[in-house]
Amino acid sequence: MAYYRYHVFFCTNQREAGRQCCGQCDASTMRDYLKRRVKELGLAGVGGVRINTAGCLDRCREGPVIVVYPESIWYTYADTEDLEEILREHLTHGRIVEHLRLPG
């Protein structure tokens, strides 16, 4: 059994000179939002869901991006509604949200 059921990494990278990056899309705020929601729903902790910051995941042009392990499912999102859908479908029910999924 894995230590966490799901481990979610948010790219929050900030690049120099205005180059496209997840940091420009308020990724840190979005990470904080999903982290709070996971805790509110009692999904956080061992055997549950862990939300983490990642350095550059090198997909900023497709971003903002997150990756969910152990399945290595990559997502993009536009707003908290997208994150809520990932939370409800993938992190709660184990169903991949195809319309937000990036090729892996």
Q: What residues does each domain of the chain span?
A: 6-102
What pLDDT, in 10s, does the model give residues 40-92? 999 999 999 999 999 887 787 887 999 999 999 999 999 999 999 999 999 99
Q: Please name the CATH architecture into which domain 6-102 falls.
A: 3-Layer(aba) Sandwich (3.40)
Please state, in angstroms and rounded to a whole number, the distance separating the CA atoms of residues 31 and 80: 10
Higher pLDDT, 12 or 41: 41
What are 9's strand-pairing partners? 52, 67
- Strand 6-11 with 65-69, pairing: antiparallel
pTM of the complete model: 0.91
The length of the chain, given as a count of residues: 104
Please state, in angstroms and rounded to a whole number, the distance separating the CA atoms of residues 11 and 17: 18
pLDDT score recorded for residue 15: 67
pLDDT score recorded for residue 57: 78
Average pLDDT over residues 91-96: 97
Please state, in angstroms and rounded to a whole number, the distance separating the CA atoms of residues 88 and 52: 18
What pLDDT, in 10s, does the model give residues 18-41? 667 666 668 889 999 999 999 999
Residue 10 is given by DSSP the state: E
Residue 54, CB-side half-sphere exposure with 13 Å CA sphere: 20
Task: Label residues 65-101 b or e (16+ Cβ within 10 Å = b).
Answer: bbbbeeeebbbbbeeeebbeebbeebbeeeeebeebe
pLDDT score recorded for residue 1: 63
Decide if pLDDT at 7 tops 70.
Answer: yes
